[in-house]
Amino acid sequence: MRHRVSGRRLGRTSAHRKALGRNLLRALLINNRITTTLAKAKEYRPMADKLVTIGKTDTPSNRVRAMAIVPDRDLVDKLFGEVATHFKDRKGGYTRVLKLAKNRLGDNGEQAILEFVDLAPVKSGDA
């Protein structure tokens, strides 16, 4: 039985899941949109929302909390500057998961887009 067990294992060890989450959130902050599997998008969406909520109040302790999740000073500056100011009037729901119609070619995995709401994706030449 799996009573009161939360979260998906995603076929990885706990350290691998933590690293995966950091990398997905890094990519989301850089590009404002990522394409991943549906399970990963659903699992890491709350982490992205919490990260934006942390970024809305610029205090030294919140910067330390953000650095613990995404250990990249430039991305934390982008979070507190560009991303959080964009969502300053929004109470929640900063990200959305859009399920794609076509499954992945190699293993037929369900694909989804995890993106920030009302924030244009960064073109590959801009990054």
Ranges of each domain in the chain: 34-116
Query: In the prediction, which pLDDT does 108 show?
Result: 96
CB–CB of 83/120 below 8 Å? no
pLDDT band for position 126 (cuts 50, 70, 90): low
Among 3.40.50.10470, 3.30.2320.80, 1.10.1500.10, 3.90.1030.10, what is the CATH number of 34-116? 3.90.1030.10
pLDDT band for position 123 (cuts 50, 70, 90): confident
Residue 20 CA neighbour count, 13 Å, CB half: 18
pLDDT surpasses 70 at 27: yes
C-alpha span between 37 and 23 (Å, rounded): 14
Cα–Cα distance list, 72 to 65, 86, 96, 127 (Å): 12, 20, 23, 15
Q: Give this prediction's pTM.
A: 0.92
**Span 85-111, average pLDDT:** 96
C-alpha closest to that of 41 among 99, 1, 81 = 99
Mean pLDDT over each residue of the chain, to the nearest integer: 95
C-alpha closest to that of 32 among 91, 117, 109, 110 = 117
Render pLDDT for 32-76 as a digit per residue (tens, 0 to 9).
999 999 999 999 999 999 999 999 999 999 999 999 999 999 999
